[in-house]
Amino acid sequence: MKLQQPIFAFFFSMALLPPYLCFSAVSQTRRPFSVISRAHATATSTTTRLSMARRDANMTPEEREVAVEKATKAMTSFSNSYIAKTKTRLCQDKSVPAVVIKGLAEHKVSLGAPLCPCRFYEDKEKEVREGYWNCPCVPMRERKECHCMLFLAEDNPFAGTETKITLDEVKELSSQA
């Protein structure tokens, strides 16, 4: 039996069920997830449900290119500051974080939020409203688990020594992928 997300949010916000006894609505595994994040996302999603649409639908190709450039710069800056804040590292192959940052920027322009580009979504707009996979995603914030390999712990076998990536590196490496 699969429960709908608002029911999960209700149970968690009312503290009727301990998180370790519930299934994650996303992964269908027994894992705790953020009570505040899910409950807040469900509560706020109803206000934006009707206004959500592709934000780049009315942009010319030139306007979209400028918006993606600006978002790429913002996401690169965000990634560098988040790496410093969480004491994580970049993947040893810098093309991996470059492509992820570019994907986050694309989603920021088209969806209005940096939705994780490494997952398949049946409904991207719904995922943006729920906020669970908006970067940094809940697994990263709670357990320092970044499946995109953008933010890696020191002990991760794919972690490199670098803690910064430049905008030029993001542009160059993501265009080669």
pLDDT at 53: 55
pLDDT at 17: 33
Q: Which residues form the catalytic set?
A: 118
Burial of 122 (C-beta count, 10 Å sphere; 0-12/13-18/19+): exposed
pLDDT at 59: 86
pTM confidence score: 0.70
Dist CA 3 CA 20 (whole Å): 16
pLDDT at 54: 75
Q: What parts of the chain have a pLDDT lower than 50?
A: 1-52
pLDDT at 120: 93
CA-closest candidate to residue 147, choices 125, 110, 116: 116
CB contact at 8 A, 117 and 100: yes
